[in-house]
Amino acid sequence: MNGPVLNTQSVRIPDPKHAALNRIEQVEWYKLLVESVQDYAIFLLDTSGKVTSWNKGAQKFNGYKAEEIIGKHFSVFYPEKDKKRGKPEWELAEVRKYGRIEDEGWRLRKDGSRYWANVVITGLYDNSGRLRGYAKVTRDLTERKKNEDALKEANRVLKHQQKELQKLNRSKDEFISLASHQLRTPATIVKQYLGILKAGIGGPLTPEQIELLEKADLSNERQIETINDLLRVAQIDAGKVNLDKQRTDVAELVKSCLDEQADLLRQHNQSLAFNRTEKPALANVDIARLRMAIENLVNNASKYTPDGGKIEVLVKTDNNEVLVSIADNGVGIKESDLPKLFKQFSRIHNELSEHAGGSGLGLYWANKVITLHGGQIGVTSKVGKGTTFLIRIPSRNK
């Protein structure tokens, strides 16, 4: 075994059962302590800054053996730049002023290579208060500095990537807008010609022919709906939506939505119950957009409830919020599907989803619109029992 060791023939191991160590034994133990530590360079300087002791850690960091370094000035550990600036002398001057100094910087090894050191220099005094030397304790933090620098660089790269992604996101929204506008024209043309055929303007049709045209028409309508949804979503994602807020009785707004959707519900034999708070449920809302969001939720309620089912809509106020709840007793949503609900193009599969149609963008858009109003949409559901959506909108602008 190399390095400092204890001579157990002359130095005892401390033991509470036996007498305390004598002075010489204590000194031997302190020598062993300092000389053995490999993770810190711990050594003495005299008042002029010359090295007067060495330890295992110092040898490990600096590369010098004790006999090579003792008697040399400690400025030999400093890079040329620091020596020129007078850094070593300045550090000793600081210690003489304040008793200690802590510093981080590059230090040089015997072979000229450098390492990042954390250095503490402490003044050593005699019993008359006179400075008699310095204690130098150094830690090699090269690894840590490497990691910190790598982290800074990674951060810089991340920030740059973030900016690039944001740019890409914006151009994605512009592209979607452009493409959707372009797609509207041919879809509109198909709509017209299918309508012309269905209306018999191109000549009388057999029932079978009408049915075939119906199928094409339905699909084209779905295409048009998706295009409209895409445009709405691209607009709101690009942050280009300015809400046209007006002070409105939300209960009245909801009621008029429901009146328009009465036919749809009747087609499916679904009952609709509407209840509202007596006083006006006032809030500052973008009427057209809130209508669309409500329509979307009621449509969903109808789509995912079997024929003969029940939909209940309730509008009430609570402190400074207007609450709109839309509850159905339909197929319900699995707990595992709930997080996907408000995502773009989310598709949830259940026994009614095959014929549900839709673009998968409605809830995403509705959620964004409500959020823009400073509100939120929540959902609770139980498979086989039904689903309740709850919209909360602040009554006053925040």
Partner 1 sequence: MPKILLVEDEPLLRESYRIVLEAVSHEVDSAANGLEALRCCRDNIYDLILLDLMMPKLDGIGFLKKFQKNSKTKETRIIVLSNMTAGDKTNQALKLGAHKYVQKSQVSPTQLIKLLRTELAAA
Any contact of residue 185 with partner 1 (CB under 8 A)? yes
Stretch that binds partner 1, among 29-37, 40-48, 194-202, 358-366 (CB under 8 A): 194-202
- 87: helix, strand or coil: helix
Any contact of residue 184 with partner 1 (CB under 8 A)? yes
User: In terms of CB distance, is 24 or 196 closer to partner 1?
Assistant: 196
Any contact of residue 224 with partner 1 (CB under 8 A)? yes
User: In sequence order, what are the residues at sequence separation of 6 or more whose Cβ sits closer than 8 angstroms to the Cβ of residue 139?
Assistant: 39, 40, 41, 117, 118, 119
- Of 218, 210, 225, 297, nearest to 261 by C-alpha is 297
Site mask, partner 1, residues 280-299, x = CB under 8 A? Answer: --------x-----------
Any contact of residue 210 with partner 1 (CB under 8 A)? no
User: In sequence order, what are the residues at sequence separation of 6 or more whose Cβ sits closer than 8 angstroms to the Cβ of residue 263?
Assistant: none
Stretch that binds partner 1, among 39-47, 79-87, 151-159, 193-201 (CB under 8 A): 193-201
Any contact of residue 231 with partner 1 (CB under 8 A)? yes
CB atoms within 10 A of CB 342: 16
Any contact of residue 340 with partner 1 (CB under 8 A)? no
Any contact of residue 324 with partner 1 (CB under 8 A)? no
Residue 13 CA, chain-centre distance (Å), reads 56
Q: Closest separation between CB of residue 241 and partner 1, Å? A: 10
Structure tokens of 96? 């003489």
Instruction: Name the CA dihedral angle for 379, 381, 385, 388, rounded to a multiple of 10 degrees.
Output: -10
Any contact of residue 19 with partner 1 (CB under 8 A)? no
Any contact of residue 131 with partner 1 (CB under 8 A)? no
Give Rg (Cα) of the chain: 40
Contact 295, 319 (CB under 8 A): no
For the purposes of burial, counting CB atoms within 10 Å of the CB of 229, is it exposed (0-12), middle (13-18) or buried (19 or more)? buried
User: In terms of CB distance, is 122 or 223 closer to partner 1?
Assistant: 223
- Of 55, 48, 49, 12, nearest to 32 by C-alpha is 55
- Of 362, 376, 223, nearest to 304 by C-alpha is 362
Any contact of residue 199 with partner 1 (CB under 8 A)? yes
Stretch that binds partner 1, among 16-24, 33-41, 45-53, 195-203 (CB under 8 A): 195-203
Contact 220, 187 (CB under 8 A): yes
The residue within the footprint of partner 1, chosen from 181, 222, 349, 396 (CB under 8 A), is 181
User: In terms of CB distance, is 73 or 184 closer to partner 1?
Assistant: 184
Stretch that binds partner 1, among 48-56, 92-100, 223-231, 315-323 (CB under 8 A): 223-231
User: In terms of CB distance, is 112 or 203 closer to partner 1?
Assistant: 203
Any contact of residue 189 with partner 1 (CB under 8 A)? yes
Stretch that binds partner 1, among 71-79, 127-135, 177-185, 265-273 (CB under 8 A): 177-185
Helices 362-372 & 207-237 angle (0-180, nearest 10): 30
Q: Closest separation between CB of residue 257 and partner 1, Å? A: 17
Distances in Å between the alpha carbon of 143 and those of 107, 111, 152? 14, 19, 14
User: In terms of CB distance, is 1 or 201 closer to partner 1?
Assistant: 201
- 314: helix, strand or coil: strand
Q: What does the alpha-carbon distance between residue 82 and residue 90 come to, in Å, rounded to a whole number?
A: 10
Tell me the site size for partner 1, rule CB under 8 A: 21
Any contact of residue 201 with partner 1 (CB under 8 A)? yes
End-to-end CA distance of the chain: 74
Any contact of residue 191 with partner 1 (CB under 8 A)? yes
Alpha-helical runs (H) found in 239-286: 250-267
The residue within the footprint of partner 1, chosen from 21, 66, 141, 187 (CB under 8 A), is 187
Any contact of residue 195 with partner 1 (CB under 8 A)? yes
Q: What does the alpha-carbon distance between residue 51 and residue 62 come to, in Å, rounded to a whole number?
A: 13
Any contact of residue 10 with partner 1 (CB under 8 A)? no
- 307: helix, strand or coil: coil
Any contact of residue 193 with partner 1 (CB under 8 A)? yes
The residue within the footprint of partner 1, chosen from 36, 118, 142, 228 (CB under 8 A), is 228
Any contact of residue 263 with partner 1 (CB under 8 A)? no
> Which residues would be at the binding site for partner 1 (CB under 8 A)?
181, 184-185, 187-189, 191-193, 195-196, 198-199, 201, 224, 227-228, 231-232, 235, 288
